[in-house]
Amino acid sequence: MVLAESAASARPTGDEPRSRILMAAGKEFAERGFEAATVREICLAAGVNVAAVNYYFGDKQRLYIESVKHAHQARVRQVPLPEWPQGTAPARKLHDYVATMLERMLGLGQSPWQMRLMMREVLQPTAACRELAQDYMRPQFAVLVGILGELSAGRLSEAELRRVAISVIGQCFFYRAAGGVVGMLVPSEEIEVLHTPQELADHVTRYALAALGAAPPLGTATPAHARPRVKR
Amino acid sequence: MVLAESAASARPTGDEPRSRILMAAGKEFAERGFEAATVREICLAAGVNVAAVNYYFGDKQRLYIESVKHAHQARVRQVPLPEWPQGTAPARKLHDYVATMLERMLGLGQSPWQMRLMMREVLQPTAACRELAQDYMRPQFAVLVGILGELSAGRLSEAELRRVAISVIGQCFFYRAAGGVVGMLVPSEEIEVLHTPQELADHVTRYALAALGAAPPLGTATPAHARPRVKR
DNA sequence: AATCGCTTCAAACAGACGTTTGCCACGATT
DNA sequence: AATCGTGGCAAACGTCTGTTTGAAGCGATT
């Protein structure tokens, strides 16, 4: 009946049962959803006994909540927002912000199962999501609203800024969430070449800048050096 | 072993077992997901025997696929795209398109459980989704690309048009999919007043028009009569 | 009246699920 | 050396799952 995180009972490395279960559970929950994921599969993948889940987390539900929080924190730490020196152009900040968001979601390197898990949560919020929104998403959202405020130079109200921010996030979100369907709507060769995190970040940023009047409209011939594309 | 849709064996009204099962299944699958929804609950809600599902649909999987298709068709029929007389301004068409899409997703009147079901499918496509994308989504997507093509007057390539189209759809999608989280990020009084299908349609349309240079940038003072807001 | 096909039903089926149990191994403490 | 608590394990528990079964009900046809 010893619940997790009890005492300072030596928890040095990262490959102990508890961590291994969290990792395996995150992947399983992300792939199959809460109900379809089975404790047996998770424990098999983690290389522990079936009883370990109940031993370390109490029950499946609490394992799930811990997995969601663990996954989000891990992903944010993997792909953090850059720190901008004072005076950085807001257009640059916006591009960085969007690129970071897309990088987190679409992820180079390892497939970001963490984000698939988050998608499920966002789609159908549980207690885990409410906690996450308050602690982590809200401040990140405020950063974006701040950048957009700089860009609009006071011409937009806070409410309007929030709407634009949601538009920006919505696009990033969509590429991740509905990637499968997008792949059915556009030619596959276009996907490979245009639907990379970098290309999409350029597009979303440009789209927002143009809408705010901070860049010429799409389709206007602009020399490459004037584009808001910033090397990272 | 008689499978559904056999002969012309009198299927007049809409409250027969098959239809009742489809309806109840749609709601259950939308609310709980495929795995968590149980055949017993569905049959209880539909007022039929447990064996009816296997009698009419073979198994749970095929019931699910039929439910998804049924739900999508029903929702599209409930909220159809308007027919535009030749010469309709493309800005007007865009607004109508976005408004229709949002209306379908956010839905006035009854809560659109159909759309929650679609969201699940889009997030994790199954055979049902592939079929749906080919038959129904692709032509609708083409309509939007066409409208954007008119608006950009040939200044954008097909690939760029598709990206803009995805941006437009992505925003609509996000309001639906992540509505719960959005509610945690913006004040609730703002939600009620600004996050209605009409207001959002205005915003998304305006955002797109501004980005394409077909309307002044956001934040520019424009007299109300010049706004692309069209009464419906 | 008897027969047929279609529909409905209660009951049972085998399997998978989350969870619990009791026992063993082992390092630290007494 | 004996004791203790922790961590891990195989096996079992009861429940719930999707699905099947065989028998009835019932209107139309023969």
Do A106 and A180 fall within a single domain?
A: yes
Pairwise CB contact (< 8 Å): B220 & A155: yes
List the single residue in A141, A163, A219 with the smallest CB-CB distance to B152: A219
Which residue has the least CA–C1' distance to nucleotide D6? A2
Q: Find the residue in B nearest to A199 (Cα).
A: B163
User: By C-alpha distance, which of B141, B134, B147 is closest to B169?
Assistant: B141
Do A48 and A114 fall within a single domain?
A: no
Do B9 and B105 fall within a single domain?
A: no
- Chain B residues in contact with A175 by the CB 8 A cut-off are 166, 170
Q: Which of A196 and A165 is assigned the larger pLDDT?
A: A165
CA distances A2 to A62, A81, B91, B193, Å, are 14, 38, 64, 49
What is the distance in angstroms between the Cα of B127 and the nearest Cα belonging to chain A?
A: 12
Do A82 and A53 fall within a single domain?
A: no
Contact between B210 and B177 (Cβ < 8 Å): no
The separation between CA B166 and the C-alpha centre of its own chain, rounded to angstroms, equals 14
Mean pLDDT of A129-133: 83
Query: B79 in a domain, yes or no?
Result: yes
pLDDT score for B228? 52
Query: A141 in a domain, yes or no?
Result: yes
pLDDT score for B90? 96
Do A183 and A130 fall within a single domain?
A: yes
What is the distance in angstroms between the Cα of A7 and the nearest Cα belonging to chain B?
A: 34
Do A38 and A78 fall within a single domain?
A: no
Separation between the CA of B69 and the C1’ of D28 (whole angstroms): 34
Domain boundary among A58, A83, A102: A58
Evaluate if the CB of B54 falls below 7 Å from strand C.
no
Query: B144 in a domain, yes or no?
Result: yes
- The long-range contacts involving B220-226, CB below 8 angstroms and separated by at least 24 positions, are B220/A155, B220/A213
Q: What are phi and psi of A9, to 5 degrees?
A: -90, 55
Domain tally, chain B: 2
Query: A104 in a domain, yes or no?
Result: yes
Q: Indicate which CATH number applies to the domain containing B20.
A: 1.10.10.60
pLDDT score for A217? 92
User: Which position has the token pair 């997507």?
Assistant: B141
Contact between B84 and B93 (Cβ < 8 Å): yes
Question: What length does chain A have?
Answer: 232
Whether residue A16 has pLDDT greater than 50? yes
Query: A146 in a domain, yes or no?
Result: yes
Token code pair at residue A101: 């968001």
Give the bases of strand D that a protein CB approaches within 7 Å: 6-12, 16-22
Mutate to test the interface with A, among B64, B121, B161, B163 (most CBs of A within 10 A): B163
Do A109 and A180 fall within a single domain?
A: yes
- Chain A residues in contact with B162 by the CB 8 A cut-off are 185-186, 190
CA separation for the pair B120, B176 (Å, rounded): 12
- Chain A residues in contact with B133 by the CB 8 A cut-off are 181, 184-185
CA separation for the pair A31, A67 (Å, rounded): 13
Parent domain of B37: 5-58
pLDDT score for B15? 64
Q: Indicate which CATH number applies to the domain containing B204.
A: 1.10.357
Token code pair at residue A154: 């006071």
Which residues neighbour A32 within 8 Å (Cβ) at sequence distance 6 or greater?
Answer: B35
Whether residue A105 has pLDDT greater than 50? yes
Contact between A75 and A115 (Cβ < 8 Å): yes
Do B136 and B174 fall within a single domain?
A: yes
pLDDT digits 0-9 by tens, A67-96: 998 998 888 898 999 999 999 999 999 999
Helical spans, DSSP H, in A1-126: 17-32, 39-46, 51-57, 60-78, 90-106, 113-123
Query: B217 in a domain, yes or no?
Result: yes
pLDDT digits 0-9 by tens, A142-182: 999 999 999 998 899 999 999 999 999 999 999 888 888 99
Q: Find the residue in A nearest to B140 (Cα).
A: A185
- State the average pLDDT for chain B: 86
pLDDT digits 0-9 by tens, B64-79: 999 999 999 999 999 9
Helical spans, DSSP H, in B178-222: 179-185, 188-194, 197-212
Cβ atoms within 10 Å, residue A120: 23
Q: Which of A4 and A219 is assigned the larger pLDDT?
A: A219
pLDDT digits 0-9 by tens, B40-59: 999 999 999 999 999 999 99
Do A93 and A187 fall within a single domain?
A: yes
- Chain A residues in contact with B180 by the CB 8 A cut-off are 122, 124-125, 129
A20-34, A56-70, B97-111: segment of lowest average pLDDT: B97-111
Do A92 and A16 fall within a single domain?
A: no
Query: A69 in a domain, yes or no?
Result: no
CA distances B175 to A141, A166, B170, Å, are 15, 8, 9
User: By C-alpha distance, which of B72, B155, B170, B35 is closest to A34?
Assistant: B35
Mutate to test the interface with A, among B145, B171, B188, B193 (most CBs of A within 10 A): B171
Q: Which of A177 and A227 is assigned the larger pLDDT?
A: A177
pLDDT score for B11? 33
Token code pair at residue B42: 């569905």
Do A52 and A78 fall within a single domain?
A: no
pLDDT digits 0-9 by tens, B147-199: 999 999 889 999 999 999 999 999 999 988 888 889 889 999 998 888 888 99
Do A26 and A110 fall within a single domain?
A: no
Q: Which of A154 and B222 is assigned the larger pLDDT?
A: A154
pLDDT score for A194? 86
Burial of B91 (0-12, 13-18, 19+ CB in 10 A): buried
Q: Is 0.95 topped by the overall pTM?
A: no
pLDDT score for B111? 65
Mean pLDDT of A22-49: 92
Query: B221 in a domain, yes or no?
Result: yes
- State the average pLDDT for chain A: 85
Helical spans, DSSP H, in B17-59: 17-32, 39-46, 51-57
Q: What are phi and psi of B210, to 5 degrees?
A: -65, -40
Pairwise CB contact (< 8 Å): A219 & B163: no
Query: pLDDT confidence of A111, banded at 50, 70, 90?
Result: low
CA distances B166 to A123, A205, B47, Å, are 19, 14, 41
Taking every pair of C-alpha atoms in chain A, what is the biggest distance, in angstroms? 68
pLDDT digits 0-9 by tens, B77-98: 999 999 999 999 999 999 999 9
